[in-house]
Structure 1
Amino acid sequence: MEFDDDNIENEEQELGDDFDALYIDEDDAAVPDLLSKKDCVIFAVDCNPQIFQKQEGNPNNESQFNTVLKSIQSFFKSKIILNVDDKVSLIFYNVDKTSNLLSFNGINTVYPLESPSAQMIKDVLKLDQNFEQQFGFRNQKVKLYEVLWLCNHMFQSKDRKRNTMRIFLFTNDDNPPPLQERQQCIHQAKLLAEMDAQIELFPLPNAHQKFDLRKFYTEIIALDVDEINESLIDSSEKILDLQNRLRQKEYKKRPINRLLLYIGKDSIVGTKVYCPYIKVRKPFPKYIDQASNKLLKKTTKNICSETGQILYPNQISQCIILGGEKVRISSKDVQKMKHFQEPSMTLIGFKPLSQLKVYHNYRPSYFVYPDDFQVKGSSQFFHALITQMKAKNKIAIVRFQPKRGSQVRFCALLPQEEAYDEDHVQQPPGFYLISLPYSDDMRDLTKVVQHEEKVEVNNNLINCAKMICNALEIHNFDVRNFEDPGLQKFYAHLQAHALNEISPEETQDLITPDEEGMKKYEEILNLFQEAINLDLKQQFGG
């Protein structure tokens, strides 16, 4: 069981709406906005002649280069719509014409590190049309460490505490460079890692030869925890799914909190808390001046209802009415009343797994992962604890306070071992944090639900229902295959408006029932309806 640690210091926390429900009290007057990091991505594309050859088995008869450009264009579109403050850049290497800040031969900076523009998105696909005249092909291979060096130089002006820095490397060449260049590549990769810049490889294999990462690239890239499997090492079909892979990497996975887990008085374990699912919502609109098209700044002023004077924060306090009089309570007093302990998790004990019921999970659950950056040895502790809890079918009960002033809750830690499914998707090791209800949260429904006499159904109707369930069963159902049609349509229209396109892209509603496919089971549905009618006649006559 292996744990991956991102070692990001002072990382900004991201909160979703579901996270707010657990981590922020409902009576909080205001919640401060937490700034998320800006994303800086450099696309480095290996432009050797083989990447321009038509692909066998490609449904559109495209070259690998054209597929890469389409994927990059899709990435640029998402950035210009979702977060225009993010920065992107495009670099071609192994080309004849040189243009870059460090004057390295064979490297051309097509787009510098800047916010994507509508013109950039329109022009990126045109780079394939006159490539030989505009960039040319190079006979001698470019030194890969110079590409990494250039990326490092481009990242130097960015604050790593405010930006996440990533290099997306596209290549179909898995052959290692000469020994001296290899050592320099490893050195440049270490320098990038020291500034929290991540190299992510997108291998481009051909139909006759697989891309083998183990020859060289495992020495310079940090493999994603979701991709450490044979699916990435043997990536003969990855080019066909390139756009989906890029979409998955649009947002870097970040912990929403880092807490210490106390085991007794003397033992402490570092943890990171992740949110497995966050509801994606439409972005909030921003107000602009109609004449100048500039963003407007919204300000709020509090005015006294009795005197009409403007009140400043230090002049405002809360109160409670006792005996007809207003008793003033300062904000510090409110904070003291809410304070129980420092934000942390404290182990209370263990319970059998059978005592954790499905209805206990009445709030969104979260995922707890070890953090060796806070406390060394946390991964080893997690491994031992998960193994023993799974062997004995136990859950852990913890006292949980995510932040100052938030509600203290009892939570269950449900262990999960590392595993891979048939699609090579990793199930990471760790604990699911399940918020347990208090007795006040449990409802007594016996007074609401009226107990009626047991309804008996004849066997003919039961058999018809079984036939419907078997006929309409959805095989290999996975929620990851279904996108929100409302969001897809919204962003398609927004994209068309931003890029001055004539009409928006067509979106496919994947949650629409397959009416054509259901027609072949029409006889079974009619049989079920007849069985219902017959049963009603037998019970009530007629």
Structure 2
Amino acid sequence: MSAYQDWNKLDDDEEDELQDNSAYEGRKDVILFCIDCSPSMLELREDPRYEDVQTCHLFTALEAAIHIQKKKVIVGPNDSVGIMLFNTTRRNEAGGQGADIKKGNYVYQPIDTINAPTIQELMRLIDAAREDPHVLLETFPSLTESRVPTGDVFTSCNWVMRDGAPKTATKRVFLITDEDNPHAGPGKERFITTARTTLMDLVQAGIGVEPFFISTDEKPFDPTKFYSSVLLPTNITDDDGAEGTILPESISITRVDELLAQMSFHEVPKRALFSVPFEFAKGFTIGVKGYGLVTEQKKGSYKYFVDFGDRMEVAVTRTTYVDEEKETEADKERLLYGMELGSTAATEEHAHESADEGGGPARTVPVNSRVFYTLGEVRSFRTMGLKPTIKLLGFKDRSELAFEDNVKHSLFIYPDEMSYSGSKRTFTALLRTMLRKKKIGLVLSVVRRNASPIFCALLPQKEKTEESGWHEPPGFHLIPLPFADDIRAAPIEETVRASDELKDAARKWVDKLTVKNGAYAPDAFPNPALSYHNAQLEASAFREEFDPTSFEDPTEPKYDRMHQRAGALMRSWKEALLQDEAAHTSIVTAGSKRKADTSVDEAEIRSKHEHGMLTKLRVDQLKDFLKSKSLSVSGKKAELAERVGEWLDSHQ
């Protein structure tokens, strides 16, 4: 182990949790589409995208399910998806999956790992429904006399998840309906109580419900009529038993074509990156969960496959250490870690022999000096013996947190009531007090077992709700604070300033091209290179021809619209810029002298040695080569050249 980085790097098997998402890459995601089949969902209406074409809400929901599954073929091939329809008279076949669910519910697509044949079967149904709008009505006839109780729908979802979803997966139900008051008649309170009770069973089983409410001009959706009393609130309240009125990520879709966009936004599960105790003082601790708000989406990692002739299976890679003498796997508990400095320290006898032969002296280990450490000791060097926790150190004024202090993207923490009872109430009290007094917190955080302790700023955030349904949740931003050597002073160079008239002329066309409301939606502009790559993989998976000319890049600037909006203003600004004398003035600065490159590669040195011209090299070049080979650099030039020649002769 010649380098410090190698010595300080632990095995991958030892849960190296320094990466934010490393512990969650292997966790599967399960989505069950729970779609309403009531008469209003099957009612034919004009398609907003195509002329003289009729569609329905059920068609749009199934089409959105296809897009989500096709996307998961690329980004989550190990995930599972299922489709269950309710308020339909169609029943499951006896003995098949879903045969024992509640009456009025039908499992069209059992929960299974994403695969192309299942998606293609659904695509054929959608293609048939596009040609004949009555296909869906005939395939999934609606209940006309009554509606399935919402509690039975949640119970059926629980049973379907129980039979098909892995226990350790992230399980969610996408509830799609356009009926805001499914039980308007007598006994409504009983239906609400039953639905809320069965929903609690879903939550206790680790299943979340994300609703997608379809609202139209003819039939607006009012969640307060029924679903506000059923679905669980997510607002932080002082009283844990208080009834909230805020739905979990509730979405009221005003246009049906927005369904796919909203589903794509919620397709990625919200997984906590860590769950640690938050210590206020000794004996005063609450639980918090941490989430990453900014994550780069990358291409999927490639895999190795083994060809067995009749089938292909994924090869599982594993790193092991082998004892060369016994030719058996070494016991990890007996492995030691250390650094190699200079020549390899053998025995004292070998060291004297090396010195007598004129070679570089080998490093000897003094008595009672430890140079090798166990895995636990190496980990303690990194963590300083601290367990994963967030410890509150004190408070400062909000004004003392500078912009340049944010050198890494922050994490967002939220109370975890399941770890410590009363965490939500205590967390809320601290949040409100810090917001009122305009304070920030200073904490010492260790969020992973193998992470180094860092000092962080605790920035409070107040909940904000917008008309579009998007809202900023209440909580704290955990901002890693830089050390003294993490910040460099920016060089300040003298330059020419533009005149006020030139600034005003530029401000006019900049204002014309500014994003409306100053809000940039990153979900509306995906990475074009990643989207192009995924589109090719998707076409290959479904054996379709990929047309590169059909790919659209939403990040490409709309030059025609830009010139139409601000072309005249930009031309006038350019004319003013050409007439401004300051634009043609440049300040001459003295260039910095670069240090000469003294390094030479091994091939050149070996060539010099073969021609007997090692002495033609400079002393610094000889020393650099000896350092790279962990050899001694002491002595005169002739000794250095001789030492280099001996090494080259022994390493032909």
Matching residue of 1:136: 141
Q: Is 1:474 the equivalent of 2:515?
A: yes
- For 1:538 and 1:411, locate their aligned partners in 2 and report how far apart those are by CA, in whole Å: 44
Matching residue of 2:76: 83
When structure 1 is superposed on structure 2, of 231-240 and 85-94 the one drifting more is: 231-240
When structure 1 is superposed on structure 2, of 276-285 and 294-303 the one drifting more is: 294-303
- For 1:55 and 1:467, locate their aligned partners in 2 and report how far apart those are by CA, in whole Å: 45
Matching residue of 1:65: 58
Matching residue of 2:168: 162
* One-letter identity of the residue aligned with 2:423: S
1:392/1:70 CA distance change after superposition, 3 Å: same
Matching residue of 2:609: none
- For 1:79 and 1:393, locate their aligned partners in 2 and report how far apart those are by CA, in whole Å: 44
Superposed, which structure 2 residues align to 1:297-308 within 5 Å?
297-302=316-321
Matching residue of 2:11: 30
Matching residue of 2:374: 330
- For 1:171 and 1:26, locate their aligned partners in 2 and report how far apart those are by CA, in whole Å: 57
1:523/1:265 CA distance change after superposition, 3 Å: same
Matching residue of 1:46: 36
* One-letter identity of the residue aligned with 1:462: K
Q: Deviations over 1:338-371 (max 9, x none)?
A: 3332211111111122211111111111111122
1:387/1:535 CA distance change after superposition, 3 Å: same
Matching residue of 2:199: 189
1:527/1:171 CA distance change after superposition, 3 Å: closer
Superposed, which structure 2 residues align to 1:310-321 within 5 Å?
312=330, 313-314=332-333, 316-321=335-340
Q: Unmatched 5+ residue regions in structure 1?
A: 1-23
8 Å contact from structure 1 (residues 370, 379) kept in 2: yes
Q: Give, in angstroms, the shift of residue 84 of structure 1.
A: 2.6
Q: Secondary structure at the match of 2:174?
A: strand
* One-letter identity of the residue aligned with 1:318: Y
Q: Secondary structure at the match of 1:493?
A: helix
Q: Secondary structure at the match of 1:262?
A: strand
Q: State the identity %.
A: 24
Q: Secondary structure at the match of 2:485?
A: helix
- For 1:495 and 1:299, locate their aligned partners in 2 and report how far apart those are by CA, in whole Å: 30
Q: Secondary structure at the match of 1:34?
A: helix
Greater relative contact order (CA < 8 Å, ≥ 6 in sequence)? 1
- For 2:421 and 2:335, locate their aligned partners in 1 and report how far apart those are by CA, in whole Å: 45
Matching residue of 2:504: 463
1:310/1:522 CA distance change after superposition, 3 Å: farther
Superposed, which structure 2 residues align to 1:109-148 within 5 Å?
109-125=107-123, 126=125, 128=129, 129=132, 130-144=135-149, 145-148=151-154
Q: Give, in angstroms, the shift of residue 247 of structure 1.
A: 1.5
Q: Is 1:347 the equivalent of 2:364?
A: no
- For 2:551 and 2:432, locate their aligned partners in 1 and report how far apart those are by CA, in whole Å: 45
Give the TM-score normalised by structure 1: 0.84
8 Å contact from structure 1 (residues 46, 171) kept in 2: yes
Q: Secondary structure at the match of 1:434?
A: strand
Q: Deviations over 1:19-76 (max 9, x none)?
A: xxxxx99943334363543222222222223222233683445311211111111122
Q: Secondary structure at the match of 2:298?
A: coil
8 Å contact from structure 2 (residues 234, 248) kept in 1: no
8 Å contact from structure 1 (residues 464, 528) kept in 2: yes
Number of residue pairs the alignment of both structures matches: 513
Q: Unmatched 5+ residue regions in structure 2?
A: 16-21, 93-97, 237-243, 342-361, 366-370, 587-652
8 Å contact from structure 1 (residues 165, 198) kept in 2: yes
- For 1:421 and 1:136, locate their aligned partners in 2 and report how far apart those are by CA, in whole Å: 38
Of residues 91, 101, 107, the one that matches 1:98 is 91
Matching residue of 1:360: 405
Matching residue of 2:642: none
Give the TM-score normalised by structure 2: 0.71
Q: Deviations over 1:207-260 (max 9, x none)?
A: 322222233223432356699769988936153311122112222212111122
- For 1:221 and 1:390, locate their aligned partners in 2 and report how far apart those are by CA, in whole Å: 29
8 Å contact from structure 2 (residues 212, 252) kept in 1: no
1:370/1:186 CA distance change after superposition, 3 Å: closer
* One-letter identity of the residue aligned with 2:37: C
Matching residue of 2:313: 294
- For 1:66 and 1:26, locate their aligned partners in 2 and report how far apart those are by CA, in whole Å: 58
Q: Give, in angstroms, the shift of residue 453 of structure 1.
A: 4.1
Q: Is 1:256 the equivalent of 2:256?
A: no
1:151/1:54 CA distance change after superposition, 3 Å: same
Of residues 387, 390, 395, the one that matches 2:432 is 387
Of residues 220, 235, 255, the one that matches 2:230 is 220
Q: Secondary structure at the match of 1:40?
A: strand
Matching residue of 1:235: 252
8 Å contact from structure 1 (residues 51, 63) kept in 2: yes
- For 2:272 and 2:7, locate their aligned partners in 1 and report how far apart those are by CA, in whole Å: 23
Q: Secondary structure at the match of 1:235?
A: strand
Q: Give, in angstroms, the shift of residue 111 of structure 1.
A: 1.5
- The higher radius of gyration belongs to 2
- For 1:233 and 1:457, locate their aligned partners in 2 and report how far apart those are by CA, in whole Å: 50
Of residues 45, 57, 60, the one that matches 1:55 is 45
- For 1:166 and 1:539, locate their aligned partners in 2 and report how far apart those are by CA, in whole Å: 62
When structure 1 is superposed on structure 2, of 474-483 and 457-466 the one drifting more is: 457-466
Q: Secondary structure at the match of 2:261?
A: helix
* One-letter identity of the residue aligned with 1:40: V
- For 2:498 and 2:251, locate their aligned partners in 1 and report how far apart those are by CA, in whole Å: 54
8 Å contact from structure 2 (residues 86, 148) kept in 1: no
Q: In angstroms, what is the RMSD of aligned CA positions?
A: 3.4
- For 1:56 and 1:184, locate their aligned partners in 2 and report how far apart those are by CA, in whole Å: 37
Q: Is 1:153 the equivalent of 2:149?
A: no
Matching residue of 1:201: 211
- For 1:406 and 1:27, locate their aligned partners in 2 and report how far apart those are by CA, in whole Å: 12
